[in-house]
Structure 1
Amino acid sequence: MRLTLHTDLALRVMVYLAQYQDRLCSISEISRFYDVSHNHLVKVAHGLVRKGYIESARGRMGGLRLARAASEISVGEIVRSMEDCLDLVDCTTCRLAPGCGLRGLIGQAMAAFLHVLDECTIAQLQGEATGILSILSTQQLPPTQTLQQR
């Protein structure tokens, strides 16, 4: 199982916002922190807002924050909502599909994978990431890149 970059970034945004619940965080700040594309992060944040996981405040002093407590949001919930397709294989065109046991086995494996993710909340991830984030917070964020530098 390989999650898309979109889902990976969504989880990172959620962990970041859980770390800084006391204030609004800008997309630019998060993008510099993770050193990822600002434009891609805008799309990710828009999806998270649309699905009700984060709230956005517009304007000069605006930003993003979690819409619910991090302890109420499971990692599995985020993965399910951000991934377009969680099928590991496409059995629709296979001639063996009607009698094949592989489809059921892979379905069980995916269910087990999602069950493990459902057991973990964003708060738990944020708690585990606190040590890393505290180390990184003492370092300067990477400088903002201009279009010429990319």
Structure 2
Amino acid sequence: MRLTSFTDYGLRALMRMASAPERAFSTAEIADEFGISRNHLNKVIQRLARHGFVATRRGAGGGAMLARPADEIGLGNLVRLLEKDQALVECFSSQGACCVTPVCLLKGKLHAAETAFLAELDRSTLADIALPAPAPAVA
């Protein structure tokens, strides 16, 4: 199973935030650390904030931080949110128009595999994958 870059960026940002949950991280800081698009990361952070995983604040000392403890944030829930509307295969989508759907035996197998994948992620939390704390800035 391949996750979208949207999910990849979200998980990386959350792993960094989990390393120092009392600290606010700017999207620029996270984007620079991981070499990812700041604009794309902003969209990810917005979705995470809308759904209560991240709290954001503007201004000096602003940025994004975890809205609740990392051990209360399930990985399966994160992936479900970040992969929302991204069907594993075309036939899982409401607009799917696969010509073999009426006789396809693969769809059930793929659905079972996706369910098992998410069930495995449901066994872990963000705390389980937090990155090591960032090194202090050198003055």
TM range, smaller chain: 0.7 to 0.9
d(CA) in 2 for partners of 1:52 and 1:45?
Answer: 11
Q: 1:125 to 1:60 in 2, by over 3 A?
A: same
| Correspondence for 1:106 among 79, 86, 110 | 110
SS at match of 1:117: helix
What TM-score, normalized to structure 2?
0.85
Q: 1:94 to 1:34 in 2, by over 3 A?
A: closer
Q: 1:90 to 1:36 in 2, by over 3 A?
A: closer
Say which one has the larger Rg.
1
Partner in structure 2 of residue 81 of structure 1 = 81
- Normalised to the residue count of structure 1, the TM-score between the two structures is 0.79
- Unpaired runs of 5+ in structure 1? 141-150
- What is the aligned partner in structure 2 of residue 123 from structure 1? 127
Taking the TM superposition and a 5 Å limit, the aligned residue runs for 1:1-150 are 1-91=1-91, 92-126=96-130, 129-130=131-132, 137=135
Aligned amino acid, residue 87 of structure 1? A
Q: Deviations over 1:108-144 (max 9, x none)?
A: 0110011111111100001xx32xx56xx3798xxxx
Identity, % of aligned positions: 39
Note the C-alpha offset of 1:41: 1.4
Structure 2 unpaired stretches of 5+ = none
Deviates more, 1:19-28 or 1:47-56: 19-28
